[in-house]
Structure 1
Amino acid sequence: MPAGSVAGVSRVPTVRVGTVNVASGRTPAGPVLDAAGLEKAVGGLDVDVLAVQEVDAGQPRSRHVDQAAALAAGIGAADWRGAVTVAGTPDPFRSWSPAGPVLRGRHAPGDGPLYGIALLSRLPVLEWSVLDLGAGRARLPVQGPDPRTGRVRWWWFPDEPRAAVAARLGTLTVVATHLSFAPHTAVRQLRRLRRWIAGMPGPVVLAGDLNLPGGLPARLLRATPLVRAPSFPAPAPRVQLDHLLAVGGGLHGADAAATVLPVGDHRALTVTVTPA
């Protein structure tokens, strides 16, 4: 009898789901991890499905590593997809351009430098899909070196395009995303996600860095929070920006955790999802 069925009737599987913002592979101390370091950083999470944000591929700043592939190897993922949202290196000088989003995976690595999100799965995926969430017009003040003088100064960083990736695992779908840093744009993107998710069969888990605090995303989505824990900044979190949400009912969360990893500036959130 196939897994996830009783007398031929399919049911929602028990799945350990996680999300983490890896900040292009940067460690809390600043240096960027290589492929082996990335594999080791997530190896202890023991998740079936992992949503990852701020993922590089072929970027000089991150040793040209295909970070989605390295992270997939770290959790033992049988399949994965990355949604490329930016071609080039995101920076204040806008030396990048929107890139789709374009889905890539084990058999379609793509030419770098690229940047976006990824969804990794140890379970068989019946169908992959992607949604373009667009970008806002807001700019974020960031501090960094001036390439002309080497002096540290403040820059106005433009918002980049955002996307969502969905993996249908039988009767359960997991959706990964990373929303805008501008709250009004993030709310608009979340409402678009709600309409997209409404057309999916069965219950859905939304996983990602939503850049919206506390219980707001769950209220806007009419969803159930599966993890309630501050996640940012990782060393001493004050606010929950990362979320695992059950959309559509029929799901129960257990063994929720917020874990500090040796990569990224957010804590990783994980939870075991079972039928309610």
Structure 2
Amino acid sequence: MRLATFNVLHGRSIDDGLVDQRRLAEAVTAIDADVLALQEVDRLQPRSGSLDLTAVAAEAGRAVAHRFVAAVVGTPGETYRPLAFDDDGADQPNYGIGLISRYPVRAWQTVRLSPSPVPGPIYAVGAGGGRGRPMLLRDEPRVLVTAVLDTPWGDVTVGATHLSFVPGWNLWQLRQVVRALRTLPAPRLLLGDLNLPAAPAALGSGWRPLGRLPTFPSSAPRVQLDHVLADPRGWGDRPLTADAATPCVPVSDHRPLVVDLPLAK
């Protein structure tokens, strides 16, 4: 099973600052994942040509199931609002996460995560995709989407998320995510931009990292923010060993983390 997580920077290239549907499709095709989690995903945003980027990725990845889940209605960094019970913002610009799968999905679930009550530091993308100056920004609502996949090896639960950039708050959210996932069938996997380096992500979750490679910034990765984690429970005697790679693709300031997990019946 090939698993991947990719923060797509709303489909933008750091080389020319443009959003090109073909580039995103080419990146997803190159990743060639059976299950792909996407972060910083636009839907109906003018800045990305009013595209549904999850649908673009699903078509390029030959997915049989996909779902976009908005974290906010509006445009981050500009004007936005959280989703309310009676307001899903379906016909307005949305921003959030996506999950695409080549396996049928038995059940979907969404868990909403509160933003940090205090602002946190974030680094703008500098020239050539490097780290720019730090800025203090208000945190945004976050979300977890889960899917119980019908695979040749039986049911597998996959969660996809993009956690807060506020130190400490992202660890609190990670523990919420783990608790939510453990209510769903084993075995379980978590894919996403956790905004945490490798050691805190592993220790904070108690789950096993399936790839330890730097993913950010894409031009010369120095830190791993993007992770594929496996709950050590529920795998039986299957060894949780995997091959990992971070291919260079023409989109985003992150590199995708791609993991090949061998599963035998």
Which residue number in structure 2 is paired with residue 112 of structure 1? 92
Compute the TM-score of the two structures, normalised by the length of structure 2: 0.86
Output the CA distance in 1 between the equivalents of 2:204 and 2:262. 23
Task: Call closer, same or farther: CA 1:141–1:168 in 2, change over 3 Å.
Answer: closer
Q: Tell me how far 1:187 sits from its aligned partner.
A: 0.6
- Are the counterparts in 2 of residues 101 and 130 from structure 1 also a CA contact under 8 Å? no
Q: Is residue 234 of structure 2 the alignment partner of residue 254 of structure 1?
A: no
Which residue number in structure 2 is paired with residue 81 of structure 1? 67
Q: Is residue 32 of structure 2 the alignment partner of residue 52 of structure 1?
A: no
Q: Tell me how far 1:259 sits from its aligned partner.
A: 1.3
- 1:7-18 correspondence runs (5 A): 15-18=1-4
Letter in 1 for 2:189: V
Q: Tell me how far 1:36 sits from its aligned partner.
A: 2.6
The runs of 4+ residues in structure 1 deviating greater than 6 Å are: none
Q: Tell me how far 1:142 sits from its aligned partner.
A: 6.1
Which residue number in structure 1 is paired with residue 187 of structure 2? 203
Q: Tell me how far 1:222 sits from its aligned partner.
A: 1.2
Q: Tell me how far 1:32 sits from its aligned partner.
A: 2.6
Output the CA distance in 2 between the equivalents of 1:180 and 1:85. 12
- 1:6-155 correspondence runs (5 A): 15-91=1-77, 93=78, 95-99=79-83, 110-137=90-117, 138-140=119-121
Q: Is residue 251 of structure 2 the alignment partner of residue 274 of structure 1?
A: no
Contiguous gaps of at least 5 residues in structure 2: 126-132
Which residue number in structure 2 is paired with residue 169 of structure 1? 149
Q: 1:180 aligns with which of 157, 160, 164?
A: 164
Please give the per-residue CA displacement for 1:39-96, whole angstroms capped at 9, x wherever unaligned: 12211111101000000011111111111111111111111011101101111x5x11
Please give the per-residue CA displacement for 1:177-216, whole angstroms capped at 9, x wherever unaligned: 0000002110110111121122111111100000011221
Compute the TM-score of the two structures, normalised by the length of structure 1: 0.83
Task: Call closer, same or farther: CA 1:76–1:179 in 2, change over 3 Å.
Answer: same
- 1:208-219 correspondence runs (5 A): 208-219=192-203
Q: Number of aligned pairs?
A: 247
Output the CA distance in 2 between the equivalents of 1:64 and 1:101. 24
**Identical-residue share of aligned pairs (%):** 42
User: RMSD in angstroms over aligned alpha carbons?
Assistant: 2.3
Letter in 1 for 2:158: V
Contiguous gaps of at least 5 residues in structure 1: 1-14, 145-152
Bigger Rg, structure 1 or 2? 1
